[in-house]
Amino acid sequence: MKMIFKIARTELRNLFYSPVAWFLTIAFMVQCGVYYTSALYPVAKWQEVLLQNTPTFKDFGVAMTAGIFLAPDGIFMNVLQNLYLFVPLLTMGLISREINSGTIKLLYSSPVKIREIVLGKYLAVMIYNLLLVGVVGVFIVTGIINIHHADYGWLLSALLGFYLLVCAYTAVGLFMSSLTTYQIVSAIGSFIIIFILSRIGTLWQKYDLVRDLTYFLSLSGRTTKMLKGLITTKDLIYFILIVYMFVGFTLIKLKAGRESKPWYVKTGRYMLIAISVLVLGYFSSRPGYIGYWDTTANNNNTLHVNTQQVIKEMKDGPLEVTLYCNLFGGGVGRGLPENRNDYLWNLWEPYLRFKPDIKFNYVYYYDVPDSDSTLYITWGRKSYQEIAAKMCEGYEIKPSLFKPGAEVRKLIDLSPENYRMVMQLQYKGKTTFLRTFDDATFWPEEPQVGAAFKRLLQPVMPKELFLTGNLERDIYKKGEREYNYHSLSKDNRYSLINIGFDADTIAETQEIPEDVTTLVIADPKTALSEATMLHLKRYIDKGGNMFILGEPGKQQVLNPLLAQLGVKMMDGTLIELSKDEMPHMVKPYLTIQSLDLSGEPLLQLLKEGMKKGEDSLPLLMPGVAGLEWTNDSGYTVQPLLQTGFNRAWLKAGTLVTDSVPPVFNPADGDSKIPRYTTAVSLSRKLAQKEQRIIISADADFMSNLRQGGGFLSRTFYSWLDDGKFPIYTPRPKPQDTLLNIGTTGAGILKIVYVWVLPGLVLLLGTVLLIRRKRK
């Protein structure tokens, strides 16, 4: 060990007695200073402007640590992207200089072992790498001072990733330096090897035999998780193995210069190291053998505790996931074999962390609905087999991979899924579908995955029944006024069936089942029959939950039912005049009571904001009446949506929306009060449960045209289900949302880190080199 340290000390002296190390250090410092201050200064400027001119400004609401250090234009992303330009220049002379000058022969003839030479030189480079880490560390310390409650765990994880990556690069450079006497050739060789290792993860991904091996060897993305604050043993072992492999290759190369061995012996040594790296790497990256450490303050890289709890319930049995990928269906590119590792590690790794016994299967096929002839016509009336062959030619995959649809139909009926890419989950004999979606995310997220897991665990799911028979909104139709999008739409990730509910219809003539979670009455157009009213009365008396939605102009249809609950839809239509909208487009605000209905992240943000005196959120209701109620019905009534103070009035009679704005006229029966309530919640305690009812004086806000009501409809359904579904996964608000520095301080830092500090290092290096030359 003493000899290794002596060689390392000598190598470090040689590094800093040459201009290369000084040049790289100064260039690195300038690069870090530019990226740090360029990200810091604009934020400090805007914070100063907002604090001086906007009384309601409290903070930016986003993590400043990630914004300044880890954004695409932040210090870490840019330093890591440009790191490969520095390292080959640093390592190109480590051994090639000895070979070129002839000193390698003296080392061979000395009692110094080759192992000590190689390890000493690499130790010197590792120490120099620590200098680069120290440079970045200066900015991290500065960032912790400049950012209020900076997430230092996140920064330290990113710093570890930076150090491991630069050590891997220098190991490559050390080996390339041992192959040639020309330093420039060594530098170019290092560039090439680093490029190959960065791209190898995309090679041969279509083939099962080598897919995992090439994906493991890839340098690309190895620091991604650490930059996000997640340290895994898989990534740590990868960097250790890469360093071991190239340092081992260097030992073999130098050892070959001192002995005469057959070529197959030398080749066997290289192969032994390479195979051992692949074997160790393969097993260290298997689910169940990977350790995780989430260093972020809010555990941003870890499944929410609600999702973890669902997975804990599945501990006693294996889960099987089968991906059905249709060559003719949507999203086929993401399901092909070459993208399988992305599918596994980007979608499923967070779940494999807590349930490593998930088994994955893949079924590739081609099929279309019987009624769809678009593909047949588009491809010149070719047979589906011929079309599949041509598409496989385009994707450069074997047609034999894809089964004809007739074969797959014998095993499973995918017609309800419209033959698009879907996953079937199987657990203890039960199955359910986990869908993909045509949006920017494509893959399901935690609420959808958690809901699918629950379907495998629970005997029944919450059931939402929609009453039919009086021209209500239809959950099977996709017209703009209907209710398909938020209820049964399979391509909407937040529809009821994708977040844990079952949705169906029930005729008004039927007795309402006792196991229904919520009965929905959505804008009936004709009067409810006496038999229907009796069914509803029995259901209400037993404590059944209800969601009732009406429309202005049809108050007489629902008011007889609402009278049993002590609520009434007021006659007329609310008017709210504005320069942009038609007069019946009213924008009531969420009340403080509505913010406690569910775990919707937006509601939690609103709640925090309203506590600070901020305004609530207005929501558009296109045509709405007002609600009034009595307090002697036995229910606790809470207003959920109310119009702005003195902003709306109630228009009696028929409203014409495409003409001149209506005028308030009390003589015509128009009325006005300070606020109108447009939605209320009712609750009462019964013997075994709490009955919950929501009444809305508008049904259009949940129509297909209005995206099914968005977060508000999910909120209402969640409250009616006692908060069991959806499975919300809220994250705590980040604490590092403000800076502790102003524009002046940020400007001074820019001068110091971009000009002064590198200038001082340049002066120190120049003096040292001149003194060395004189000696």
What residues does each domain of the chain span? 2-295+745-774, 305-454, 460-720
**pLDDT score of 117:** 85
H or E stretch at 406: helix 405-409
CATH, range 460-720? 3.40.50
Which range is least confidently modeled, 367-376, 378-387, 469-478? 367-376
Cα–Cα dist 333/348, whole Å: 18
Section 235-248 average pLDDT: 93
- Looking only at the bridges linking them, the beta strands covering 422-427 and 320-326 are antiparallel
Cα–Cα dist 615/56, whole Å: 10
> Could you tell me which of 500, 412, 415 has the C-alpha nearest to residue 449?
500
Q: Which two tokens stand for residue 424?
A: 């079937």
Beta bridge partners of 520: 466, 547
What are the helix and strand counts (H, E) for the chain? 28, 21
Burial (0-12, 13-18, 19+ Cβ within 10 Å), 659: exposed
Section 249-272 average pLDDT: 83
pLDDT score of 471 more than 90: yes
Cα–Cα dist 683/722, whole Å: 12
Beta bridge partners of 415: none
Peptide bond between residue 726 and the one before it cis (omega within 30 degrees of 0)? yes
Cα–Cα dist 266/601, whole Å: 61
- Give the CB-side neighbour count of residue 675, counting CA atoms within 13 A: 14
Burial (0-12, 13-18, 19+ Cβ within 10 Å), 206: middle
pLDDT score of 422 more than 70: yes
**pLDDT score of 282:** 84
Top pLDDT among 523 and 185 is at 523
**pLDDT score of 155:** 94
pLDDT score of 330 more than 90: no
pLDDT score of 172 more than 80: yes
Q: Please name the residues in contact with 696: beta carbons below 8 A apart, sequence gap of 6 or more.
A: 547, 548, 549, 550, 641, 678, 679
**pLDDT score of 108:** 62
513 DSSP 8-state letter: P
Q: Which two tokens stand for residue 760?
A: 């001082």
Section 728-734 average pLDDT: 89
Placement of tokens 């160790």 in the chain: 280
pLDDT score of 520 more than 80: yes
pLDDT score of 237 more than 70: yes
Cα–Cα dist 429/320, whole Å: 10
Q: Measured on CA atoms in the order 477, 480, 483, 489, is the torsion positive or negative?
A: positive
H or E stretch at 364: strand 359-366
**pLDDT score of 210:** 66
Q: Are 163 and 130 in contact (CB under 8 A)?
A: yes
Helix (H, G, I), strand (E, B) or coil at 505: strand
**pLDDT score of 208:** 64
Cα–Cα dist 94/163, whole Å: 19
688 DSSP 8-state letter: S
**pLDDT score of 573:** 94
Q: What are phi and psi of 329, to 5 degrees?
A: -100, 175
**pLDDT score of 526:** 94
Instruction: Measure the CA angle with vertex 647, ends 646 and 648; round to 5°.
Output: 100
> Could you tell me which of 251, 73, 85, 274 has the C-alpha nearest to residue 166?
85
